[in-house]
Amino acid sequence: QLYVMRDRGFMRDLLARARNAGCDTLVLTLDLQIMGQRHRDRKNRLGSSRITMAQWAQIVARPLWASRMLRTPRRDFGNLVGHIKGAEDIVSLASWTAEQFDPSLDWKDVEAICREWNGKVVLKGILDAEDARCAVGSGAAAVVVSNHGGRQLDGARACIDALRDVAEAVADGTEVYFDGGIRSGQDVLKARAGGARMGFLGRAFA
């Protein structure tokens, strides 16, 4: 899965490493070109490198948890760390990532990435018929009807409401996947009835 970044050189390197690793399908995410206002994350201070007094109090009150966390192996983003100059820790990496969102992304960029990959491309973040037709014209083998879990834009169409329009707009042979709101088998049936070949249920699983 690829996010379109300002650093096109790094992006091409990432694609080359994916090809060398044996990946045959690229999922290109189109609905994350600006930083979203994730209110819950901001309220919980996720993304901040400073630990508050309240957080210190929580850590002190949970010595067993703190001890286990101190012994946990370091986690990092293996695709990024060591491949980006000047981004060697989580703070500098977060700063680099925030600067990489490219709001100028357009269909010419998508077509260029499809040519660069030269394999199957799935475009994620399609919510209307016109974008679905543009996706097919760009060379997509499949599209994902997704609003990024409803947490990226201040307002967006519900995926289930967009599904039928997208399914009817794409050409035969282009698969339609559904992402967002699946919580039960009944939801899967609704997605299938609306034209989806399959649905994603990561949040329900988590």
Of the candidates 4, 148, 182, 201, the residue annotated as catalytic is: 148
83 labelled catalytic: no
DSSP assignment of the chain:
-EE-BS-HHHHHHHHHHHHHTT--EEEEE-S-SS----HHHHHTTTT--PPPHHHHHHHHT-HHHHHHHHHSPP---TTTTTTSTT--SHHHHHHHHHHHB-TT--HHHHHHHHHHH-SEEEEEEE-SHHHHHHHHHTT-SEEEE--GGGTSSSS---HHHHHHHHHHHSPTT-EEEEES---SHHHHHHHHHTT-SEEE-HHHH-
Which residues belong to the active site?
148
